[in-house]
Protein backbone atom coordinates (compact mmCIF):
# COMPACT_ATOMS: atom_id res chain seq x y z
CA UNK A 1 0.00 0.00 0.00
CA UNK A 2 1.30 3.46 -0.86
CA UNK A 3 2.32 5.83 1.90
CA UNK A 4 0.61 9.19 2.22
CA UNK A 5 2.55 12.42 2.34
CA UNK A 6 2.56 13.97 5.79
CA UNK A 7 -0.01 16.73 6.13
CA UNK A 8 1.22 20.30 6.26
CA UNK A 9 1.30 21.76 9.74
CA UNK A 10 -0.95 24.76 10.47
CA UNK A 11 2.11 27.01 10.46
CA UNK A 12 3.00 25.92 6.92
CA UNK A 13 1.73 27.56 3.73
CA UNK A 14 1.55 25.55 0.51
CA UNK A 15 2.62 27.04 -2.84
CA UNK A 16 2.43 25.93 -6.46
CA UNK A 17 5.59 26.71 -8.41
CA UNK A 18 5.67 27.23 -12.19
CA UNK A 19 9.08 27.00 -13.83
CA UNK A 20 10.31 28.79 -16.97
CA UNK A 21 10.30 25.48 -18.88
CA UNK A 22 6.56 25.07 -18.17
CA UNK A 23 6.85 22.36 -15.53
CA UNK A 24 4.87 22.67 -12.29
CA UNK A 25 5.59 21.64 -8.72
CA UNK A 26 2.53 21.60 -6.45
CA UNK A 27 2.17 21.95 -2.70
CA UNK A 28 5.67 23.14 -1.87
CA UNK A 29 5.83 23.87 1.87
CA UNK A 30 6.97 27.26 3.19
CA UNK A 31 7.06 28.11 6.91
CA UNK A 32 4.27 30.54 7.76
CA UNK A 33 6.61 32.51 10.01
CA UNK A 34 8.52 33.61 6.89
CA UNK A 35 5.36 35.25 5.50
CA UNK A 36 4.41 37.46 8.45
CA UNK A 37 5.84 40.72 7.08
CA UNK A 38 4.48 43.36 4.72
CA UNK A 39 6.22 41.81 1.70
CA UNK A 40 3.34 39.45 0.95
CA UNK A 41 4.45 36.21 -0.70
CA UNK A 42 7.84 37.50 -1.90
CA UNK A 43 9.69 35.86 1.05
CA UNK A 44 8.19 32.54 -0.08
CA UNK A 45 9.82 32.97 -3.49
CA UNK A 46 13.19 33.59 -1.82
CA UNK A 47 12.71 30.53 0.40
CA UNK A 48 11.76 28.33 -2.58
CA UNK A 49 14.72 29.59 -4.64
CA UNK A 50 17.06 28.67 -1.77
CA UNK A 51 15.48 25.19 -1.68
CA UNK A 52 16.04 24.87 -5.43
CA UNK A 53 19.73 25.74 -5.02
CA UNK A 54 20.13 23.05 -2.33
CA UNK A 55 18.39 20.46 -4.51
CA UNK A 56 20.62 21.42 -7.44
CA UNK A 57 23.79 21.12 -5.34
CA UNK A 58 22.81 17.76 -3.89
CA UNK A 59 21.63 16.21 -7.15
CA UNK A 60 24.30 17.71 -9.39
CA UNK A 61 21.66 18.49 -12.01
CA UNK A 62 20.61 21.95 -13.12
CA UNK A 63 17.11 23.02 -12.05
CA UNK A 64 14.87 25.29 -14.14
CA UNK A 65 14.35 28.85 -12.89
CA UNK A 66 11.14 29.75 -11.10
CA UNK A 67 8.79 31.75 -13.31
CA UNK A 68 5.97 32.34 -10.81
CA UNK A 69 4.51 31.13 -7.53
CA UNK A 70 0.97 31.10 -6.19
CA UNK A 71 -0.67 29.80 -3.06
CA UNK A 72 -2.12 26.34 -3.47
CA UNK A 73 -5.87 26.07 -3.38
CA UNK A 74 -7.28 24.67 -0.15
CA UNK A 75 -8.70 21.22 -0.70
CA UNK A 76 -11.42 19.65 1.36
CA UNK A 77 -10.43 16.26 2.73
CA UNK A 78 -12.91 13.48 2.27
CA UNK A 79 -14.44 12.09 5.42
CA UNK A 80 -14.16 8.34 5.64
Domain boundaries, the chain: 33-61
- 7 pLDDT tier (thresholds 50, 70, 90): low
pLDDT of 42 higher than 90: no
User: Collapsing DSSP states into helix, strand and coil, what is residue 35?
Assistant: helix
Predicted TM-score (pTM) of this structure: 0.73
- 36 pLDDT tier (thresholds 50, 70, 90): confident
Q: Do 20 and 68 meet the contact criterion of CB atoms below 8 Å apart?
A: no
Mean pLDDT of 32-51: 84
Please give the Cα distance from 25 to 69 (Å, whole number): 10
Amino acid sequence: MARRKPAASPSTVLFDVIYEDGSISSNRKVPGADLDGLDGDEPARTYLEEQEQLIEQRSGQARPKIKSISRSKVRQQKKV
